[in-house]
Amino acid sequence: MSRSAPSALPVFISSLSKHYGAFCAVDTVSVDIAAGEFLTLLGPSGSGKTTLLMMLAGFARPSSGSVRLGDQEVVHLPPHKRNIGMVFQNYALFPHMSVGENIAYPLKLRGVGRMECGERVGKVLDLVQLGGYQDRRITQLSGGQRQRIALARAIVFEPRILLMDEPLSALDKQLRETMQIEIRRLHDRLGMTTISVTHDQREALTMSDRVAVFSRGRLAQVAAPKDLYERPVSRFIADFIGESSFLPVQKVSGGLAYGGQLLHLADAADADLPEPMLMLRPERLDVVYAGQAARDENTNMFNGTVRSVVFQGESLLFEVGLDQGDVVQVRQSNRSQCTENLPSKGERVDLLLNRFDTRIVRGEG
Amino acid sequence: MESHVPHKQRLWLYALTALILIFLVLPTLIVIPMSFSSANSLAFPPPGWSMRWYESFFGQEKWLLSAWVSLRVAFGTMIVATTLGTAAAYGLHVGSFALRGTISSVLIAPLAIPSILLAIGMFFVYASAGLLNSMLGLVIAHTLVAIPFVLITMTAGFKTYDLSQEMVARSLGASRLKAFFTVTLPQLKFSVISAALLAFIVSFDEVVISVFISAGPNSTLTKVMFSTLRDDVDPTIAAVSTLMLIIATVPPLVLQLLANRKREP
């Protein structure tokens, strides 16, 4: 958790809903965001994450529920009275103003004097590493620079909360990765409570303190990136964050079994989940020639045949057909001494899974 | 794109184009030489040249008074129609409500309805409302016919504008009205000016309704032209037409030049 600025406010969202006729875009969502926290709303398109952001900003009126910034209820406040900075997907810089005028816009509205205005614009430009750009026209800026200016304009008036709607989606991959790190660094420096919306899981995992995953208007899970990846509560989350294969497991006395074979679980309590499914992350499995590894209580073993091997640069992706009929993906990193000895298509193999990577998820969806 | 048809084979096309241009433009331009004629009646080609018909125009009170009425009515119409039309275009563009299509059609309707029909209707409505032969009545009537032009121009303008800029302005602390005036409107400057010019010209050139609802000291220039034409035809009409042509064409041309210069950095 990052250091929070003294002016940062916590956000309390409780039972917030938004209906459009019979369609429920956001369905009784409750989540508390700590002062200075960076929360990302992640979900497929149409999952309600943007609608939630628009309700926080004041552009959409909730059908029911409450949003509090600190101890102030803001549901009925218009956007301009919320004192929330917002970065839009397309940046929405004002093309009829220079860079400096764009950034000074919120300051002028707040009656900040000329001198102080210029000073603060200069400071925030330094912060986004575009010092001296005051007099540039918006049309002279590259995509990445526009992104920084939009960010500068949204934070220059020291808003209590910063909202970002798909802030990096218009940038190419390389720039996006640089900006992810940079936004995170900026956040750590300013400690502003930040809520960002994205459909890019990598972006969510890289930037956030916590990620809230949306599915069909509901909050599916809110957790720190690591927990979300390691301990997804449902098949939907496991599928959405990272890659995974799923195996159906049966409840037996003493736990869960796959193909009649009792599984050694990381957490024995997982056996009680409804509709349990075994989640297999491709990078957590090891593929070895059949019969080469010994069984022990810290390892689960699955038998199968290699269906294909795909070379993907830094890793190799195996598709293994298990004897029970399920298909599992396995990723082996590309290190020369290992790669030489890996099985190829059609060969019999055993898949090894460490007990502590043996995670069960709820099999809905 | 490079053309593969030789010019020789397209001579018929050039001829046709020239013919179309002549029939379109010549009737408009023919009044110009006629206005400088020395003859006592409208004649083409003029037997000699003089400025007497311009002197006649500037020397007669009926022309100057009615021109002043027309200018004031056109100016009033421009202000009212541009304001209302822009507001309507904004509302129809931004809003999503059930009557959107209907309202839009109703506002555009004066464009499709024959003006004589409008004029007769207005005559009776204005007669009972006491608006006949008044400046206010003229401004209201001309606003009605000018709004479709403003609406169409501004709707096209709003379509090229990214509304999220207004949202961002609001999130930065501007009220909706302030956001509209500081962010949206400055970027639609050329649409607004075009719409205003159109409204001005529509009113300034309007004949049919003016003939019905303006009279006496509040007669418009077009009405006076019309009645003069009926009584005696003298080339002062050509001089007035030439002046009106200048008023209707010069400002849009200047605007076009300004817009082009703005586009080139």
pLDDT for A136-172, tens place per residue? 999 999 988 999 999 999 999 999 899 999 988 888 8
Among B168, B176, B182, the residue with its CB nearest the CB of A88 is B168
Q: Across-strand partners of A359?
A: A279
- Determine how many CB atoms are found less than 10 A away from the CB of residue A360: 22
Per-residue model confidence (pLDDT) at position B40 = 85
Compare all CA atoms of chain B with the CA of A161 and give the residue at the minimum distance: B171
Contacts of B186 in chain A (CB under 8 A): 96
Q: Residue A305: exposed, middle, or buried by beta-carbon count in 10 A (0-12, 13-18, 19+)?
A: middle
CA distance B117 to B86: 26
Of chain A, the percentage scoring pLDDT greater than 70 comes to 97
Distance from CA of A156 to the nearest CA of B (A): 10
Going by pLDDT thresholds of 50, 70 and 90, the confidence category of residue A293 is confident
Per-residue model confidence (pLDDT) at position B1 = 54
Q: Which domains does chain A have, with CATH numbers?
A: 11-236 (3.40.50.300), 243-362 (2.40.50.100)
CA distance A174 to A181: 11
Q: Across-strand partners of A299?
A: A354
Per-residue model confidence (pLDDT) at position B257 = 87
- Do residues A164 and A197 lie in contact, with contact meaning Cβ atoms separated by under 8 Å? yes
Range A104-111 average pLDDT? 95
Q: Please report the number of interchain residue pairs, chain A to chain B, with beta-carbon separation below 8 angstroms.
A: 67
User: Would you state the structure tokens that stand for residue B73, as one six-digit string?
Assistant: 């009515």
Range A172-194 average pLDDT? 89
Going by pLDDT thresholds of 50, 70 and 90, the confidence category of residue A2 is very low
Per-residue model confidence (pLDDT) at position B76 = 97
Across the interface, do B172 and A96 touch by the CB < 8 Å criterion?
no
Residue ranges of the domains in chain B?
A: 60-263
* Residue ranges, chain B, pLDDT below 70: 1-3, 262-265
Cβ of residue B38 closer than 8 Å to a chain A Cβ? no
Q: What is the DSSP letter of A290?
A: T
- Identify the residue among A54, A69, A96, A124 best suited for mutation to test binding to B, counting B beta carbons within 10 A and taking the highest: A96
Cβ of residue A95 closer than 8 Å to a chain B Cβ? yes
CA distance B111 to B79: 19
Compare all CA atoms of chain B with the CA of A139 and give the residue at the minimum distance: B265
pLDDT for A7-65, tens place per residue? 789 999 999 999 998 899 999 999 999 999 999 999 988 899 999 999 999 999 999 99
Range A72-79 average pLDDT? 93
Q: Residue A87: exposed, middle, or buried by beta-carbon count in 10 A (0-12, 13-18, 19+)?
A: buried
- Identify the residue among A105, A156, A197 best suited for mutation to test binding to B, counting B beta carbons within 10 A and taking the highest: A105
CA distance B203 to A63: 47
- Determine how many CB atoms are found less than 10 A away from the CB of residue A346: 9
Per-residue model confidence (pLDDT) at position A340 = 67
- Determine how many CB atoms are found less than 10 A away from the CB of residue B88: 18
CA distance A49 to A69: 19
The ipTM is 0.82
Q: Across-strand partners of A198?
A: A42
Per-residue model confidence (pLDDT) at position B265 = 44
Contacts of B263 in chain A (CB under 8 A): none
CATH class of B60-263: mainly alpha
pLDDT for A91-101, tens place per residue? 999 999 999 99
Please report the residues numbered 159 through 218 in chain B whose beta carbons come closer than 8 angstroms to any beta carbon of chain A.
162, 164-165, 167-176, 178-179, 182-183, 186-187
Per-residue model confidence (pLDDT) at position A1 = 45
pLDDT for A196-213, tens place per residue? 999 988 899 999 999 999
C-alpha to C-alpha distances, A182 to A68, A131, A203, A302, B157, nearest whole angstrom: 29, 16, 12, 43, 37
Across the interface, do A94 and B175 touch by the CB < 8 Å criterion?
no
Contacts of B174 in chain A (CB under 8 A): 80, 105, 109
Please report the residues numbered 57 through 76 in chain A whose beta carbons come closer than 8 angstroms to any beta carbon of chain B.
57-59
- Do residues A87 and A165 lie in contact, with contact meaning Cβ atoms separated by under 8 Å? yes
Which candidate, A247, A243, A216, places its Cα nearest to that of A232?
A243
Across the interface, do A79 and B167 touch by the CB < 8 Å criterion?
yes
Cβ of residue A149 closer than 8 Å to a chain B Cβ? no
Which candidate, A157, A145, A81, places its Cα nearest to that of A117?
A157
First to last CA, chain B: 26
pLDDT for A42-55, tens place per residue? 998 889 999 999 99
Across the interface, do B173 and A106 touch by the CB < 8 Å criterion?
yes
User: Would you state the structure tokens that stand for residue A101, as one six-digit string?
Assistant: 């005028």
